[in-house]
Amino acid sequence: MKRKLTAAIGIAGMMVSLAACGDSDGGGSDNTGADAKELTVWLTVDAQNNWPELVKAADDAIKKQHPGIRINHEYYGWPDKNAKLDAVLATDKAPDVVEMGNTEMLGYMVKGAFAPVDPARFENSDAWLDGLKASVTYEGKTYGVPYYAGGRVANWRKDVAASVGVKSPPKTYEELTSALDKIQEEEGDKFSAWYQPTRDWYAAMSFVYDAGGSIAEESGGQWKANLSSPESIKGLEEFKNVIDTYMHADKTKDESDRYLVYGQGKSAMIFGAAWEGATAEDPKNDKTGELKGNLENFVMPGPSGENLPVFLGGSDLAVPVRSDAQAVAAEWINAYTGASGQQGLMAKGNLPNNKTDLATLKDDPATAVPATAAESNWFVPMAPGWGQVEKSQILQTMLQDIGTGKKPVEAAAKEADAAIDEVINTK
């Protein structure tokens, strides 16, 4: 989940304006904007590219309830969305519904940017996944609705694995690295046995948490960075080993186009969102013509001997406090994230926003892998300044320095800790 917080919402004048609008319960507990004639919905390109039919279904449901309403959609890439949002939040140009990465929510909730909503108005709210529920909750109020969850799974090419005598996915980390070593030797140094973007902090932190480390720890109401602890260093060292051994591509890239690179046929494996393999084998992305039916998801084993803990990311939908269509916005969100919407999202390889649907996935061989992988998970520190950590791309910078060899692991981690400590407790 590509969550880059480029917030400018600390601007004093804008925050005064937001605060003046922040006392209403908005779309959650009254009928503000119930007769709105127009609705503006901002989503990321994930929805536009991968499940546009679900967007249309929500639109149709609202148009049936509100004949004549006009629904406008704007789609943004993750790096661009928040800069645009920050520029309009305190104006009459604010959208009525906006998609947020779940790690982005806290900074905006702290600043009063979103209207509270009533969870009882949304299907399955009593069973929302814990990580997603936490991401929309601040000081006892709910400021958003979980949209979908995104765990991480490994995905590899069965044909490449079979070419070195491996007929089934690995169950242990030793089995995985043994297979990858054989693939790397067979394919040569212009091929990535494991295409692992260096700046992908979601993957890197999985190794940190697997080793018993963490990004930061809370004590006495204060957060302190923890990347230079012995446990965290152990995880970072193993991540560097993966990059050095199996990643023979641009070591300054992030994960945003990983599925496209995978589709080019120059790698045997990725570790990413469950939908990425299916998207890579789509004919428009598969440049080899060989990926359809040849890719296989499996639960990523960790060096610890347990399943690698995965980042339980995802998206939430929020209603900006300046929206004048809050009630209809809440209706649209419910239509989009309700039972039928969740079924559609699951069919695309996403995890649902609730435990009830997640349990059904474990019983289906087609979805058991991502559902099982999600059981061992981690989430970002729920610290008031976490948004600033993301905004500054501290983790990405550290990982690029490590992956490119610019700095030793311990030095890069200590520098990252210092940068995190400067902002993580700041609202």
Distance CA 369, CA 307 (A): 11
DSSP string computed for 95-116: -SEEEEETTTHHHHHHTT-B--
Same domain for 140 and 31: yes
pLDDT at residue 5, as a whole number: 32
Residue 91 CB burial class (10 angstroms; 0-12, 13-18, ≥19): exposed
Give residue for tokens 């995890």: 351
Distance CA 161, CA 267 (A): 11
Question: Residues with Cβ < 8 Å from 156, sequence gap 6 or more?
Answer: 169, 268, 269, 270, 295, 296, 298
Q: Return the closest-CA partner of residue 96 out of 144, 150, 39.
A: 39
Q: Residue 30: pLDDT band by 50, 70, 90 thresholds?
A: low
Same domain for 90 and 67: yes
pLDDT at residue 208, as a whole number: 98
389, two tokens: 């950590």
Interior angle at CA 396, CA 257 and CA 99, nearest 5: 60
Model pLDDT for residues 230-253, shown as the tens digit of each residue: 999 999 999 999 999 999 999 999
Number of alpha carbons in the 13 Å side-chain half-sphere of residue 103? 24
Distance CA 369, CA 297 (A): 7
Q: Is residue 2 part of a domain?
A: no
Start-end of H helices in 124-216: 130-135, 158-163, 173-187, 201-210
Q: Is residue 385 part of a domain?
A: no
Q: Return the closest-CA partner of residue 151 out of 317, 369, 396, 354.
A: 369
Same domain for 160 and 212: yes
For the residues 168-188, what does the mean pLDDT come to? Answer: 98
Output the CA torsion 345→351→354→355 (10° steps): 140
For the residues 408-419, what does the mean pLDDT come to? Answer: 98
322, two tokens: 């300046």
Q: Does pLDDT of 186 surpass 80? A: yes
Same domain for 257 and 109: no
Q: Residue 92: pLDDT band by 50, 70, 90 thresholds?
A: confident
pLDDT at residue 280, as a whole number: 97
Most confident of 79-88, 170-179, 347-356, 377-386: 170-179
Q: Is residue 384 part of a domain?
A: no
**Contact (CB, 8 A) for 371 and 377:** no
pLDDT at residue 77, as a whole number: 93
Q: Is residue 188 part of a domain?
A: yes
Residues in the chain, total: 427
Cite the beta strand spans of 220-288 per DSSP E.
222-225, 269-273
Q: Is residue 348 part of a domain?
A: yes
Q: Does pLDDT of 110 surpass 90? A: no
Model pLDDT for residues 161-170, shown as the tens digit of each residue: 999 999 999 9
Measured between alpha carbons, how far is residue 250 from residues 77, 157, 181, 284 in Å? 21, 21, 20, 23
Model pLDDT for residues 37-46, shown as the tens digit of each residue: 999 999 999 9
Q: Residue 29: pLDDT band by 50, 70, 90 thresholds?
A: very low
Same domain for 191 and 94: no
Regarding beta strands 269-273 and 216-219, do their DSSP bridges make them parallel or antiparallel, or are they unpaired? unpaired
Identity of the residue numbered 124: N
**Contact (CB, 8 A) for 286 and 260:** no
Q: Is residue 6 part of a domain?
A: no
Considering only residues 314 and 251, tell me which one the structure prediction assigns the higher pLDDT: 251
pLDDT at residue 350, as a whole number: 85
Q: Is residue 217 part of a domain?
A: yes
Same domain for 142 and 79: yes
Cite the beta strand spans of 202-286 per DSSP E.
216-219, 222-225, 269-273
**Contact (CB, 8 A) for 351 and 362:** no
Q: Does pLDDT of 303 surpass 70? A: yes
104, two tokens: 């982005």
Q: Return the closest-CA partner of residue 162 out of 184, 179, 185.
A: 179
pLDDT at residue 31, as a whole number: 67
Q: Strand, helix or coil at 395? A: helix
Same domain for 415 and 268: yes
**Contact (CB, 8 A) for 386 and 103:** yes
For the residues 296-313, what does the mean pLDDT come to? Answer: 95
Same domain for 302 and 399: yes
**Contact (CB, 8 A) for 62 and 290:** no
Q: Is residue 255 part of a domain?
A: yes
pLDDT at residue 138, as a whole number: 85
Q: Does pLDDT of 389 surpass 80? A: yes
Distance CA 183, CA 292 (A): 20
For the residues 222-231, what does the mean pLDDT come to? Answer: 97
Considering only residues 110 and 183, tell me which one the structure prediction assigns the higher pLDDT: 183
Same domain for 293 and 188: yes
396, two tokens: 């990405």
pLDDT at residue 124, as a whole number: 93
pLDDT at residue 331, as a whole number: 97
Q: Residue 79: pLDDT band by 50, 70, 90 thresholds?
A: confident
Distance CA 118, CA 108 (A): 18
Same domain for 216 and 110: no
Measured between alpha carbons, how far is residue 242 from residues 158, 190, 195, 270, 393 in Å? 20, 16, 9, 12, 21
Q: What is the pTM assigned to this prediction?
A: 0.75
Q: Strand, helix or coil at 44? A: strand
Same domain for 109 and 249: no
Same domain for 396 and 271: yes
Distance CA 296, CA 157 (A): 6
Helix axes 230-246, 409-423, angle to 10 degrees: 120
Mean per-residue pLDDT over the chain, rounded: 90
Report the domain count for the chain: 2
Domain that holds residue 107: 12-150+312-378
Residue 294 belongs to a domain with what CATH number? 3.40.190.10
Share of the chain above pLDDT 90, in %: 74
